[in-house]
């Protein structure tokens, strides 16, 4: 065939017309469907991002406790410097925590609508599904630290408690039920430190019920959480194959080891109306586990190489430990206990501020393409 035929004007015009038609069709297709970037973002977004709201909600409760704006008399254990903090600072922090929770909930609702297969896959993931408790825990923490217009004796408080507690109880039936009934998900194979979030959900619910004066409900929910905490703790302590399946980037969730007994001490304190011997034992166990983890920085070295949303798992456990130390200091009224409370509170605030700063400066790392919770088999 003659080479001049290939470069003829008619052929060039035909090629250009075909290219223009293809470009127009592609443009029409792009306008008719959601942008691939937004779909990709919803695919990579998961319930693990509620670590952020969990951390901020815990901070709001800590600040309310230390500034003496709570329902009890926790302010007696606070230093004059802490009590002198303006109430506007607490309101600002509480509003920020609420805003973060609402924003994350809206994103997750969009994910449920547009990427439901990814949500279903997340529910079946042995680590990711535990964070489905996190938004409801955040709601209960915000409820307990709410400004004075929302008190435990008020009817809206009780309605909100039911709204936030029922999903946790439903998830309890689902998660705990599949552990001891016949099925494929044996606890020794799926248990991991993130599973402790399920226990924390029960303990936060029990504490909120006790604040309303619902003693029997609080004891019942506490009993469920305590029973499963013992089983989980023994299982994780024996390091079965399932407990070693946690990716290195998620090792900050090991801090949940001392978050659970810390929250248990707070819940029992609310039930018994005093920081009794049982609360003290749980608090001392938390301190021991905290010391055991912070003395092994090599365990978290790989997780600290690059910023990720998993870093937010450091904040909430330290905050709960600081809350427990505040109740302990109020009970014993000793200088050493007050110093410990102040040190843990400062550490908690410093960790949260550092995480907020990293999140603002490293926004590109908040939605990485190699997240352990990703579902790569799903279309983007």
**Secondary structure of 250-271 in HEC code, one letter for each residue:** HHHHHHHHHHHHHHHHHHHHHH
**Nearest-angstrom CA–CA distance, 247 and 76:** 43
Contact present, 327 and 275 (Cβ < 8 Å):
yes
Orientation of helix 155-180 relative to helix 215-237, angle to 10°: 40
User: What's the average model confidence in pLDDT over 168-172?
Assistant: 93
**What is the rounded average pLDDT for all residues in the chain?**
83
**Nearest-angstrom CA–CA distance, 37 and 43:** 10
Look at the alpha carbons of 29, 34, 38, 44 in this order and tell me if their dihedral is positive or negative: negative
**Nearest-angstrom CA–CA distance, 144 and 303:** 32
- Residue 128 DSSP SS3: helix
The pLDDT score that the predictor gives to residue 35 is: 46
**Nearest-angstrom CA–CA distance, 137 and 197:** 9
Contact present, 144 and 137 (Cβ < 8 Å):
no
- Residue 145 DSSP SS3: coil
Going by the DSSP 8-state scheme, the letter that residue 372 receives in this structure is T
Q: Could you tell me the pLDDT band of residue 369, with boundaries at 50, 70 and 90?
A: low
Lowest-pLDDT choice from 11-20, 249-258, 290-299, 315-324: 11-20
Q: Is the pLDDT of residue 360 over 60?
A: yes
Going by the DSSP 8-state scheme, the letter that residue 149 receives in this structure is T
Residue 147: name the closest of 100, 72, 94 by CA: 94
The pLDDT score that the predictor gives to residue 76 is: 46
User: What's the average model confidence in pLDDT over 120-132?
Assistant: 87
Residue 213, token pair as written in the block = 């004066």
Lowest-pLDDT choice from 11-25, 102-116, 305-319: 11-25
Q: Could you tell me which residue, 154 or 135, shows the higher pLDDT?
A: 135
Residue 323: name the closest of 84, 25, 62 by CA: 62
The pLDDT score that the predictor gives to residue 5 is: 42
CA 286 to chain centre: 19
Burial category of 128 from C-beta neighbours within 10 Å (exposed 0-12, middle 13-18, buried 19 and up): buried
Contact present, 59 and 97 (Cβ < 8 Å):
yes
Q: Characterise 68 by phi-psi region: left (phi > 0), alpha (psi -120 to 50), beta (else).
A: left
Domain boundaries, the chain: 36-365
Quick: pLDDT tens for 19-66: 555 555 444 444 444 444 555 777 778 889 999 999 999 999 999 988
User: What's the average model confidence in pLDDT over 301-305?
Assistant: 87
**Residue pointed to by tokens 């309310």:** 64
Q: Could you tell me the pLDDT band of residue 6, with boundaries at 50, 70 and 90?
A: very low
**Nearest-angstrom CA–CA distance, 376 and 269:** 45
Q: Is the pLDDT of residue 10 over 90?
A: no
Q: Could you tell me the pLDDT band of residue 18, with boundaries at 50, 70 and 90?
A: low
Look at the alpha carbons of 102, 103, 105, 109 in this order and tell me if their dihedral is positive or negative: positive
Q: Is the pLDDT of residue 274 over 50?
A: yes
Look at the alpha carbons of 243, 244, 249, 251 in this order and tell me if their dihedral is positive or negative: positive
Q: Could you tell me the pLDDT band of residue 69, with boundaries at 50, 70 and 90?
A: low
Contact present, 288 and 346 (Cβ < 8 Å):
no
**Residue pointed to by tokens 């920085």:** 297
Q: Could you tell me the pLDDT band of residue 73, with boundaries at 50, 70 and 90?
A: very low
Q: Which CATH class is domain 36-365?
A: mainly alpha
Q: Is the pLDDT of residue 12 over 70?
A: no
The residues near 337 (Cβ < 8 Å, ≥ 6 apart) are 77, 325, 328, 329
Quick: pLDDT tens for 275-289: 999 999 999 999 999
């Amino acid at each position: 065939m003659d080479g001049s035929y290939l470069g003829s004007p008619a052929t060039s015009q035909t090629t250009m017309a075909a290219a223009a038609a293809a470009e127009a069709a592609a443009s029409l297709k792009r306008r008719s469907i959601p942008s691939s970037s937004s779909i990709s973002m919803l695919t990579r977004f998961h319930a693990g991002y509620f670590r952020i709201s969990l951390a901020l909600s815990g901070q709001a409760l800590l600040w309310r406790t230390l500034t003496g704006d709570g329902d009890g008399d926790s302010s007696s254990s606070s230093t004059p410097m802490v009590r002198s903090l303006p109430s506007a600072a607490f309101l600002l922090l509480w509003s920020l925590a609420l805003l973060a929770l609402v924003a994350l909930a809206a994103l997750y609702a969009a994910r449920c609508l547009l990427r439901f297969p990814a949500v279903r896959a997340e529910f079946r993931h042995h680590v990711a599904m535990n964070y489905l408790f996190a938004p409801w825990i955040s709601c209960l923490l915000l409820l307990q630290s709410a400004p004075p217009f929302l008190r435990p004796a008020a009817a809206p408080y009780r309605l909100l408690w039911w709204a936030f507690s029922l999903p946790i109880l439903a998830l309890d039936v689902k998660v705990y039920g599949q552990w001891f009934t016949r099925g494929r998900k044996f606890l020794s194979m799926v248990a991991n430190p993130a599973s402790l979030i399920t226990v924390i959900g029960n303990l936060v619910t029990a504490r909120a019920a006790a604040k309303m004066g619902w003693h029997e409900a609080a004891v019942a929910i506490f009993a469920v959480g305590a029973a499963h905490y013992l089983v989980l703790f023994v299982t994780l302590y024996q390091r079965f194959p399932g407990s070693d399946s946690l990716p290195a980037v998620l090792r900050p969730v090991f801090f949940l080891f001392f978050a659970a007994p810390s929250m248990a001490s707070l819940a029992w304190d609310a039930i018994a109306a005093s920081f009794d011997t049982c609360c003290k034992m749980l608090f001392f166990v938390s301190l021991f586990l905290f010391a055991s983890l912070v003395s092994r920085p090599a365990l978290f070295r790989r997780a600290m190489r690059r910023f990720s949303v998993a870093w937010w798992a450091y904040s909430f456990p330290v905050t709960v430990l600081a809350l427990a130390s505040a109740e302990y200091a109020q009970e014993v009224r000793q200088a050493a206990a007050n110093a410990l409370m102040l040190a843990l509170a400062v550490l908690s605030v410093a960790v949260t501020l550092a995480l907020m700063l990293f999140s603002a400066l490293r926004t590109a790392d908040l939605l990485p393409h190699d997240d352990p919770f990703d579902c790569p088999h799903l279309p983007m």
